[in-house]
A and B are shown apart, each in its own frame.
Chain A
Amino acid sequence: MKRLRVAIDQLAPRLGDIETNAATHRASILWARKQKADLLVFPELSLTGYLIMGMVARTALTSADPVLAGLAAEAGPLGVILGFVEKASDGRFYNSAAYLKDGAVRAVQRKMFLPNYGMFDEKRFFAEGDRLEPFDAPWGRTGILICYDALHPVAAYLHEQAGAQLIVTVAASPARGIGPDGSMSGREIFRSAHLAHSRLLGLPTVFVNRVGTEEGLTFWGGSQVIDPLGQSLCEMPEYESCREICEIDLEATARARTRFPHLKEGRPDFILQELWRLRMGPRLPVITPGNQPS
């Protein structure tokens, strides 16, 4: 596959209404299949909405749930990434994204970094994922980041080191911090992170953010696809529920990496060594003049 057709549904889920949201997802899957898309991406927690809070247990699905299986059946050959509350076999709940393809749930990525400051209270309701694992797809290995994950540079780096050729960030980012100059801090930080992932790791990235309101929060949308050289391939409107198709030239990755060889220099051994030293250094025996090894 040389070109990847990505469909993006920048929707506003109904909070807690899985049945209605699943119907919206189904309609979108039909649309994306008609558009001959390879991959359809929904935002974070697209099946449930964001402010689940104390209703986590009532909205959680196992990865074998019939709702997901039904959507996977509708998707057929289309790859679908959607957000849901995952109930794990040990009873924990995760803010997760599922990859559906050929009639089944093929991969589940749990959110690794849960925001727990200011308006965010995710650690109260969700457990943290402990494994970033890209999945294999016909267009290449793909890593999913869930919202706040994308603001931790190491997460995108780990995906790339695991062989990801595409990074998909799904988000429920609320607008906040409007400045005098048209800036909005919620947007600026995600725009910077998304652009940095593409440019510094040399791969295409897809960022899908929801719209709509929950409580006083207004989610700003503005989904975007960026190529490995940092060029924007598709920029969706802010605050509007909409769908778009964007084509990614998969060969651009090799070209970008030829032009910018630094992209090949991930040096995981060096990073591992430095992390090990930072974590373990103080615990090693300290050699001082009075404590010389004999």
Chain B
Amino acid sequence: MNSPRVRIDLSLDPFVAVGLIIDFLAGHFAKKGFADAVLGVSGGVDSAVGAVLAVEALGASHVKGLAMPAGSSDPASLRDAETVASAFGFELLLRPVGPVVDAFFDGSANVDRMRIGNAAARARMMRLFDYSYEHHALVIGTSNKTELLLGYGTWYGDLACSINPIGDLYKTQIWQLADFLGVPATVIHKAPSADLWPGQTDEGELGFAYEDVDQLLYLMIDGEYSFEALVDHGFSPEFIRKVVGRITSSQFKRSLPTIAKVSAKTVGIDFHLSRDWGT
């Protein structure tokens, strides 16, 4: 059983939460000396929320969305991305990555859909960071807290970004804030998908529903519940173990690469310097 006996209300006061994130984004951009942002807009709810928050913080003319369909992407996704861009008044540039991925794998054998999906995610990352350099724009990441904890993202692909305004929001909280922010209902209510191959859905691939795993993650991570307390709360031991396994095996995606310590001060181990130093 994946569902808890009693559901915790994970909703956030939207005025407080959105206000905080907008202040955070505006403050960060100002002190880093950037006026412009770029982000991948997939047609999904996470990038829609990321884009709206950026528009609120920086102004629509300072936000560029890149729509980067791969060969296998659902054409409906691009239409949804266009709907989001026109609803919030930011420019959407079409930069397909299909040809990049095709050229990359030209002549390769044993190419499976995971390799193609990862290559598409990394091709998008290259597009975004190339745009960032060319136009002096910071790359906004839109991985949510559920994905980050479960490691449900491509390392150095969609997980790569300069700043992430929604990475501390569970998927169910993203849905709630999307509604508050006026994201079109079709975008909020469609099945979440990485759109890496036809018919892929997050919940199908993960094997559980966001509504359930968010409850579990909240109690386990934020609430510090023990394994026994989680079982007591109604989650099956199998479900808990599966989620714990995903979290522990994906910690590398949330960390700098491991560095062998040799000296007295080692990057990533005991060289403690804020990236905001001097700003």
1/0 contact string of B57-99 vs chain A (CB within 8 Å): 0000000000000000000000000000000000000000000
Q: Cβ of B133 < 8 Å from any Cβ of A?
A: no
Report the minimal beta-carbon distance from B176 to chain A, rounded to whole angstroms: 9
1/0 contact string of B213-243 vs chain A (CB within 8 Å): 0000000000000000000000000000000
Which of A15, A49, A182, A213 is close to B24, meaning CB atoms less than 8 Å apart?
A213
Contact A180 B13 (CB under 8 A): yes
Residues on B with C-beta less than 8 A from A215 are 274-276
Which residues of B (1-20) have their CB < 8 Å from a CB of A?
9, 11-13, 15-17, 19-20
Report the minimal beta-carbon distance from B16 to chain A, rounded to whole angstroms: 5
Which of B12, B27, B272 is close to A212, meaning CB atoms less than 8 Å apart?
B27
> Known contacts A213-B27, A213-B28, A218-B20: does B278 contact A179 (CB below 8 Å)?
no
A273→B146 CA distance, assembly (Å): 52
Q: Cβ of A175 < 8 Å from any Cβ of B?
A: yes
Q: Cβ of B31 < 8 Å from any Cβ of A?
A: yes
A213's nearest neighbour on chain B, judged by CB, is B27
Which of B27, B168, B270, B278 is close to A14, meaning CB atoms less than 8 Å apart?
B278
Q: Cβ of B255 < 8 Å from any Cβ of A?
A: no
Contact A54 B273 (CB under 8 A): yes
B28's nearest neighbour on chain A, judged by CB, is A213
A217's nearest neighbour on chain B, judged by CB, is B24
A125→B270 CA distance, assembly (Å): 12
Residues on B with C-beta less than 8 A from A271 are none
Which residues of B (238-278) have their CB < 8 Å from a CB of A?
265, 270-278
Majority secondary structure of chain B interface residues (helix, strand, loop or mixed): loop
Residues on B with C-beta less than 8 A from A184 are 16, 20
Contact B27 A218 (CB under 8 A): yes
Contact B11 A180 (CB under 8 A): yes
A179→B222 CA distance, assembly (Å): 13
Contact B17 A15 (CB under 8 A): no
Residues on A with C-beta less than 8 A from B273 are 53-55
Residues on B with C-beta less than 8 A from A52 are 274
Residues of B in contact (CB 8 Å), total 26
B25's nearest neighbour on chain A, judged by CB, is A213
B173's nearest neighbour on chain A, judged by CB, is A178
Residues on B with C-beta less than 8 A from A12 are 27
Q: Cβ of B279 < 8 Å from any Cβ of A?
A: yes
Which of A53, A125, A179, A216 is close to B12, meaning CB atoms less than 8 Å apart?
A179
Residues on B with C-beta less than 8 A from A54 are 265, 270-273
Q: Cβ of B23 < 8 Å from any Cβ of A?
A: yes
Contact A182 B272 (CB under 8 A): no
B19's nearest neighbour on chain A, judged by CB, is A239
B176's nearest neighbour on chain A, judged by CB, is A180
Q: Cβ of A51 < 8 Å from any Cβ of B?
A: yes
Q: Cβ of A76 < 8 Å from any Cβ of B?
A: no
Residues on B with C-beta less than 8 A from A124 are 272
Residues of A in contact (CB 8 Å), total 29
Report the minimal beta-carbon distance from A101 to chain B, rounded to whole angstroms: 31
Contact B276 A182 (CB under 8 A): no
A175's nearest neighbour on chain B, judged by CB, is B20
Report the minimal beta-carbon distance from A78 to chain B, rounded to whole angstroms: 29
Report the minimal beta-carbon distance from B74 to chain A, rounded to whole angstroms: 33
Which of A15, A175, A181, A239 is close to B276, meaning CB atoms less than 8 Å apart?
A15
Residues on A with C-beta less than 8 A from B265 are 54
1/0 contact string of A178-214 vs chain B (CB within 8 Å): 1111111000000000000000000000000000111
Q: Cβ of A103 < 8 Å from any Cβ of B?
A: no
1/0 contact string of B168-181 vs chain A (CB within 8 Å): 10000000000000
A47→B275 CA distance, assembly (Å): 18
Q: Cβ of A16 < 8 Å from any Cβ of B?
A: yes
A220→B19 CA distance, assembly (Å): 11
Residues on A with C-beta less than 8 A from B16 are 178, 182, 184
Residues on B with C-beta less than 8 A from A15 are 274, 276-279
B12's nearest neighbour on chain A, judged by CB, is A178
Contact A182 B13 (CB under 8 A): yes
Residues on B with C-beta less than 8 A from A14 are 31, 278-279
Contact B13 A178 (CB under 8 A): yes
Contact B15 A182 (CB under 8 A): yes
Contact B276 A53 (CB under 8 A): no
1/0 contact string of A45-76 vs chain B (CB within 8 Å): 00001011111000000000000000000000
Contact B277 A183 (CB under 8 A): no
Question: What are 6 A-B pairs with beta-carbon distances under 8 A?
Answer: A49-B276, A51-B274, A182-B13, A213-B24, A216-B168, A218-B27
A residues contacting B by CB (< 8 A) are 12, 14-17, 49, 51-55, 124-125, 175, 178-184, 212-216, 218, 220, 239
Additional pairs, 5, CB under 8 Å, beyond known A49-B276, A180-B9: A178-B12, A178-B20, A184-B20, A213-B24, A239-B20
In the complex, the 6 A-B pairs of residues with the closest C-beta atoms, listed nearest first: A54-B272, A53-B272, A182-B13, A51-B274, A213-B27, A239-B23
